[in-house]
């Protein structure tokens, strides 16, 4: 069985506040822009497309 799950998009502090769709996504996969809230583990998931995001080690999603 093949794993078709895409790896999480890694973000750094300069990428915050994070939103989806992100600039690297193709136009055909567009949906309304939604800002992401990271959990205590530094991960977030888009409610529209399910893309997973995670903060790179040392990055902080503090208040912006």
Q: Can you give the residue range of the structural domain that contains 48?
A: 7-22+34-59
Per-residue pLDDT of the chain (64 residues; tens, 9 = 90+): 444 567 899 999 899 999 999 888 888 778 999 999 999 999 999 999 999 999 998 887 765 4
Q: Are 8 and 43 in contact, with CB atoms under 8 Å apart? A: yes
pTM to 2 decimal places: 0.78
Q: Is residue 2 part of a domain?
A: no
- State the number of CA atoms in the 13 A half-sphere of 14 facing the CB: 0
Element spanning 41, H or E? none
- Tokens matching residue 48: 């529209």
Q: Is residue 1 part of a domain?
A: no
Domain count along the chain: 1
């Amino acid at each position: 069985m093949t794993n078709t799950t895409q790896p999480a998009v890694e973000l750094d502090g300069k990428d915050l506040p994070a939103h989806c769709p992100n600039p690297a996504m193709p136009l055909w996969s567009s949906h309304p822009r939604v800002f992401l809230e990271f959990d205590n583990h530094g991960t977030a998931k888009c409610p529209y497309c399910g893309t997973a995001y995670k903060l790179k080690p040392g990055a902080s999603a503090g208040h912006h």
